[in-house]
């Protein structure tokens, strides 16, 4: 496009003005939170799920945790294949800034953690008060508690209930 931008990959970026910019085409990258949500849902299902238009590197922290759980994951260039494996092992998750485990994925992975053999722990270091979903999951019969930025999630069978979407 003709922009004068310096400092990519460093702690500061300098943009110098130019007389004119040229047009170009650009494709927006796939959303890692949406992709991660689908990955969590796929792991909870009993069928193979193939996710297309995904950048595996962008969901690497989630992929590692799902594999630690025991999820069968096949990674290709722009595709991830998820196959359910049970029983799942319990895991500990700590949210971090990118490229760490995304805080926005701690809610989607929580129901999957009810399917584990033992207790799992989710600590949100970005938004420690972000556990409004815990009370709603308890209404559904979940054995889950949260305190001071950490949720303790124990194996549970969920039941239908009226819940609120708070976050």
Long-range pairs of 17-24 with CB within 8 A, sequence gap ≥ 24: none
Low-confidence ranges of the chain (pLDDT < 50): none
Question: Which of the listed CATH numbers 3.65.10.10, 3.40.1370.10, 3.20.20.70, 3.30.70.260 matches domain 32-154?
Answer: 3.65.10.10
Rounded to whole angstroms, how far apart are CA atoms 122 and 138? 16
Look at residue 8 in the predicted model and tell me its pLDDT.
87
pTM of the model: 0.86
Look at residue 47 in the predicted model and tell me its pLDDT.
87
Look at residue 84 in the predicted model and tell me its pLDDT.
82
Q: Tell me, what DSSP letter sits at residue 47? A: S
Domain ranges of the chain: 32-154
Q: Six-digit token pair at 37?
A: 């949500």
Look at residue 42 in the predicted model and tell me its pLDDT.
95
Look at residue 87 in the predicted model and tell me its pLDDT.
86
Report which secondary-structure segment, H or E, holds 133.
helix 133-139
Look at residue 86 in the predicted model and tell me its pLDDT.
77
Q: Quick check: bond before 87 cis, omega within 30?
A: yes
Look at residue 57 in the predicted model and tell me its pLDDT.
96
Look at residue 157 in the predicted model and tell me its pLDDT.
95
């Amino acid at each position: 496009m003709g922009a004068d931008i310096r400092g990519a990959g460093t702690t500061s970026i300098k943009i110098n003005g130019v007389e004119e910019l040229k047009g170009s085409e650009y494709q927006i990258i796939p959303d890692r939170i949406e992709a991660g949500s689908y990955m969590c849902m796929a792991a909870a299902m009993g069928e193979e799920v193939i996710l297309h238009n995904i950048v595996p590197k962008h969901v690497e922290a989630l992929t590692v945790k799902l594999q630690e759980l025991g999820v069968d994951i096949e990674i290709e260039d722009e595709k991830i294949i998820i196959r359910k494996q049970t029983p799942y092992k319990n895991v500990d998750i700590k949210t971090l800034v990118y490229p760490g485990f995304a805080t926005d994925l701690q809610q989607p992975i929580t129901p999957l953690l009810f399917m584990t053999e033992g207790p799992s722990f989710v600590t949100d270091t970005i938004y420690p008060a972000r556990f409004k979903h815990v009370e709603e999951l308890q209404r559904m019969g979940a054995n889950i508690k949260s305190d001071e930025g950490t949720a303790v999630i124990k194996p549970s069978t969920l039941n239908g209930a009226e819940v609120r979407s708070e976050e």
